[in-house]
Amino acid sequence: MIKKNKEYELEIIDLTYEGFGVAKIDGFPVFIENTLPQEIVNVVITKVLRKFAYGRALEIITPSPDRVEITDKVGTRIGTMPLQHMSYDLQLRFKQKMVRETLAKEIDMSGVEVHETLGMETPWGYRNKAQIPVRMIEGQLETGFFKRGTHSLIPIENYHIQDPKIDEAILKVRDILRSFDVHAYDENKHSGVIRHIIVRRGQFSEDMMIILVTNGNNLKPKEAITNAIQEAIPHLVSLVQNINAKKTNVIMGEENVVLYGNDFYTDDLMGKKFCISSQSFYQVNSKQTEVLYQKAIDLAELKPTDTVIDAYCGIGTISLNLAQHAKHVYGVEIVPDAIVMAKFNAIENNISNATFEVGKAEEVMVKWVEEGLNVDVLVVDPPRRGLDPQFIEASLKTTPKRIVYVSCNPATLTRDLAVYLENGYELMHVQPVDMFPQTVHVEVVISMTLKNVD
């Protein structure tokens, strides 16, 4: 019988989708962080549950050839870099295997290749956005990240996976807030001022946006803080106070106050200029976004006569690139601010064959179907929860010849694909793209075609 606090010498035989090594004791699974297949490890059992246990590696007796030196142990503790002990080649193979196995749980994958994960040349310092919690520790305002599974803040100055300029900006803002004796938020007492510091940077434009998420409107001395941040941060084009007075884990509130510049910054993507507001979604890895979107465009196989729907279009990053190759693109997005940005971005890039509408994708899709819109290609890039069943039903009525699905969650992708495949579509191409090196997350872009269509 496995006992807590007992030590075992174990062989790691597999990896979980969370990146934990898997060993077995008399057939009973044990999950161990920071271990790799083929390793012999001295492990102490830390928790025993009904169907599996957790252990902590005390010593790597025989290391894997794919083990690399850890960049920062803190990144493992807080969960920002759970795969940093893996060679990058193994990370890419791990994600390819994860996608293949997830799809195969519900879909017949015989004859369908899951292609090798498209990775980065330099898989560090890639994030163009940081959302950093702020707390008081021993009477001092600190920025950092929560220890995995807790709300206990660990102070951090170098996140390694973020743009180094963003890390520098976080520290400058932290020090300015300290100098004005601004107190951080206390979630237990619902007191204090600063909840989060959000920094967004155009990796090609170098524009910087800083958002101070505050517990109410009481940011004092507001003008002095604004001036100090403006002087300290090069390329600052936007300083926004976002007010979130609710007792919630949701980071941002609905009210914005622009303290300096505009409520947007710009970046270049695939040869186009995009304006991005504080509330707008924008992929966090600009370089890999170009890889991902180019693959989506290629798989769409667009002709100049094609009409395209881009559901969950955001600020139009995919739509406006699709529009170059199609007759007309229709984009839908639930965030009104994003549609404002999408329309503005279309004008900025001299693109006239794109139409954008605010609303839930499933509801707007139904309306378009009722209006008789003829769709040749459907492109979807939904949030992690995947597609609404009502949306899938409406999209099937439009009978698009090709569907391109961009997903950040292989599990919900698999669920949705199964429905399309049951309704006359054939899975043609599966391409994982590594948007989040050193983490377990992966983007996948797939294409389907309607059977029996010339």
The pLDDT value recorded for residue 72 is: 95
HSE at residue 432, side-chain half, CA atoms within 13 A, is 28
Label each residue of 64-126 as H, E or C.
Answer: CCCECCCCCHHHHHCCCCCCCCECHHHHHHHHHHHHHHHHHCCCCCCCCCECCCECCCCCCCC
Among 297, 408, 433, 442, the active-site one is 408
Is 275 noted as a catalytic residue in this protein? no
At 313, list the tokens: 């279009």
Domains of the chain: 7-67 (2.40.50.140), 103-119+285-450 (3.40.50.150), 129-269 (2.40.50.1070)
* Segment 60-66 mean pLDDT: 97
- pLDDT digit string, tens, across residues 214-257: 999 999 999 999 999 999 999 999 999 999 999 999 999 999 99
Across the range 78-95, mean pLDDT stands at 96
Q: Residues 54, 30: contact at Cβ < 8 Å? A: yes
**Position 370 confidence tier, pLDDT thresholds 50, 70, 90:** confident
Share the mean pLDDT of the chain. Answer: 96
Amino acid 1: pLDDT: 80
Across the beta sheet with 40-48, the strand order is 7-11, 40-48, 53-62, 28-32, 21-25, 14-15
Q: Are strands 354-358 and 425-433 parallel, antiparallel or unpaired?
A: unpaired
Question: Over 60: is that where the pLDDT of 454 sits?
Answer: no
Single-letter residue type at 342: A
pLDDT digits 0-9 by tens, 423-441: 999 999 999 999 999 999 9
Q: 83 falls in which pLDDT band (50, 70, 90)?
A: very high
Higher per-residue confidence, 165 vs 204: 165
**Rounded CA gap, 213 and 217, in Å?**
10
Residue type, 54: Y
Query: pLDDT band for position 148 (50/70/90)?
Result: confident
**Per this entry, what is the length of the chain?**
454
Would you say 412 and 385 are in contact if contact means Cβ atoms under 8 Å apart? yes
Q: Which two tokens stand for residue 249?
A: 């884990």
Which one-letter amino acid corresponds to residue 303? K
The predicted model gives 70-97 an average pLDDT of 95
Beta bridge partners of 67: 86
Q: Which segments of 345-423 are extended strands (E)?
A: 354-358, 377-380, 402-407
Residue 285, pLDDT above cutoff 70? yes
Query: 102: buried, middle or exposed (CB in 10 Å: 19+, 13-18, 0-12)?
Result: buried
Percent of the chain at pLDDT exceeding 70: 100
How open is the CA angle 142-212-187, to the nearest 5 degrees?
A: 55
- Residues 6 or more apart whose CB falls under 8 angstroms from that of 148 comprise 77, 78, 79
Rounded mean pLDDT, 268-286: 95
| Cα three-residue angle 349-350-355, rounded to 5 degrees | 95
**d(C-alpha 200, C-alpha 207), whole Å:** 8
Q: How confident is the model at residue 453 (pLDDT cuts 50, 70, 90)?
A: low
